[in-house]
Structure 1
Amino acid sequence: MTKDPVCGMTVDDKSPHRSTHAGQTYLFCSAACKTKFEEEPERYAARAEGAGDRASRP
């Protein structure tokens, strides 16, 4: 389990909502959070890196 970098919700590793940025895969609770991330990936990736909420596997 990991956390959605946009809303902070816990996300199952099998979530179909995922995006890759700078070589890291991020998981999301919904398509809406994925879209927000893709609009401002640097903002949300920095938040996730600070909290250790990245998914390290594709």
Structure 2
Amino acid sequence: MAIDPICKMDVDEKTAKWKSDYQGKTYYFCAPGCKKTFDADPAKYKDKDRK
């Protein structure tokens, strides 16, 4: 399981509908709003996941 860096929810990488790649790492999101927030300023959130 991955952790959504925006809302901290658990996200299954195998079934995640929303994801973004940033600096060679894939980030997974629970909803499109979290992905949109991350994509607007990925540097702000890149180290906030707890995978």
The TM-score, its normalising length taken from structure 2, stands at: 0.88
- Normalized per residue, the structure richer in helix is 1
RMSD value, Cα: 0.9
Gaps of 5+ in 2: none
The TM-score, its normalising length taken from structure 1, stands at: 0.79
Runs of 4+ in 1 over 3 A off after TM superposition: none
Gaps of 5+ in 1: 54-58
- Normalized per residue, the structure richer in strand is 2
**Identity in percent:** 36
Aligned residue pairs: how many? 50
